[in-house]
Amino acid sequence: MNIRFIDSPPQEGEFNMSCDYTLAVQAKPGDDALLRIYTWLEPTISIGFHQKAEDIDYILCEKDGISVVRRPTGGRAILHWGEITYCFIAAMQVGGGQKALGEIYRKAHTAIHNALRMHGLNVNFAAGKKIIRKQSPLCFATSVGTELEYEGKKVVGSAQRLLKSTVLQHGSILISPEHLKLPDYLNVSEELRQRLREKLELSSTHLPLRDDKSFRITMGKSFANIFEGKVYRTDLTSDENIQIGKDRPRFIINEFNSSV
């Protein structure tokens, strides 16, 4: 499977979510897989497709300059601040089901694992861990067997969704501790906020990694190796940019259309 690689500049949250969604929706059977690496123009909280919007304290977010968007994928809230974000899009094979989705998830995390290892970081899979997922608005508060850890704590959080016959998977690679501030912006009691802070600090950490061209190139090569193809770099096309602009309002939290 060949990999189309897009190395994106920092963008606003609505653009990033619209871009991932648009590229996935436009993918056709037989297209090459796509890997996009990007960052965020400003600190942004993204909430999962089915997550309650009321989980977030919007007044405090606005006061502190934190944007809020909804992801086209499921999962819990993430504070995108001091991270490298990836998006991987691939066509599902005919007859593929949950097992095929799980295999794509595992392979994508294996590619990230190998790329981080090539940059000298001793990351490992959270093998053998069985986590009971209690109700929590935080993504990085839980870890399962296919997740990546550094020094025993989670450093990569991913979400996945099947859109017709295309898999959209995107996730965060933590490279600074700002993600720990997420509980400050949740609409919860102070007692629960403190418990969430403690849980987040115990379960997640960040990598001593710089977001530079070298690592992004390594990511592209690693995905191509795991998916047994070649990698080639492109930019977004003019048609893609036009459609991204049209889809962008879907991901503004107040205007979100649940049919996305």
Residue 204 has pLDDT above 80, yes or no: yes
Local structure of 256: helix, strand or coil: coil
What band does 128 get if pLDDT is binned at 50, 70 and 90? Answer: low
Q: What is the pLDDT of residues 211-234, one digit of tens each?
A: 999 999 999 999 999 999 999 999
Among 18, 19, 77, 74, smallest CA distance to 43 is for: 77
Report the pLDDT value the prediction gives residue 92, as an integer from 0 to 100.
80
* Largest Cα span, the chain: 51
What band does 145 get if pLDDT is binned at 50, 70 and 90? Answer: low
Q: Letter for the amino acid at 131?
A: I
Q: β-pairing, 78-80 with 33-38? A: unpaired
37-52: average pLDDT = 94
Residues 6+ apart with CB under 8 A from 154: 126, 140, 142, 143, 147, 148, 203, 204, 205
Least confident piece of the model among 5-19, 101-115, 130-144: 130-144
- The DSSP element (H or E) to which 52 belongs, if any, is none
53-81: average pLDDT = 94
Candidate list 19, 61, 87, 139, residue with the active-site label: 139
* 3-state percent breakdown (helix, strand, coil) of the chain, nearest 5: 40, 25, 35
Report the DSSP beta bridge partners of residue 156: 173
What band does 117 get if pLDDT is binned at 50, 70 and 90? Answer: very high
Q: Letter for the amino acid at 141?
A: A
Q: What is the DSSP string of 157-202?
A: EEEEEEETTEEEEEEEEE-SGGGGGGGGGBSS-HHHHHHHHHHHHH
What band does 50 get if pLDDT is binned at 50, 70 and 90? Answer: confident
User: Which two three-digit tokens encode residue 60?
Assistant: 């405090």
Residue 146 has pLDDT above 90, yes or no: no
CB 78 within 8 Å of CB 181:
no
Q: What is the pLDDT of residues 154-167, one digit of tens each?
A: 999 999 999 988 99
Residue 129 has pLDDT above 70, yes or no: no
143-156: average pLDDT = 85
Least confident piece of the model among 89-93, 186-190, 207-211: 89-93
Q: Is residue 139 annotated as part of the catalytic site, yes or no?
A: yes
Would you call 92 exposed, middle or buried from its count of C-beta atoms within 10 A (0-12, 13-18, 19+)? middle
Number of H helices, E strands in the chain: 6, 12
Report the pLDDT value the prediction gives residue 253, as an integer from 0 to 100.
85
Residues 6+ apart with CB under 8 A from 259: none
Q: For the chain, what percent of residues have pLDDT higher than 70?
A: 88
Report the pLDDT value the prediction gives residue 164, as an integer from 0 to 100.
84
Residue with the bigger pLDDT between 26 and 100: it is 26
**Spatial separation of the C-alpha atoms in residues 28 and 14, rounded to whole Å:** 24
Report the pLDDT value the prediction gives residue 132, as an integer from 0 to 100.
39
Instruction: Write down how long the chain is.
Output: 260
CB 186 within 8 Å of CB 112:
no
Residue 209 has pLDDT above 70, yes or no: yes
What are the phi and psi torsion angles at 135 (to 5°)?
-60, 120
Q: β-pairing, 44-47 with 67-70? A: parallel
* CATH code reported for the domain at 3-255: 3.30.930.10
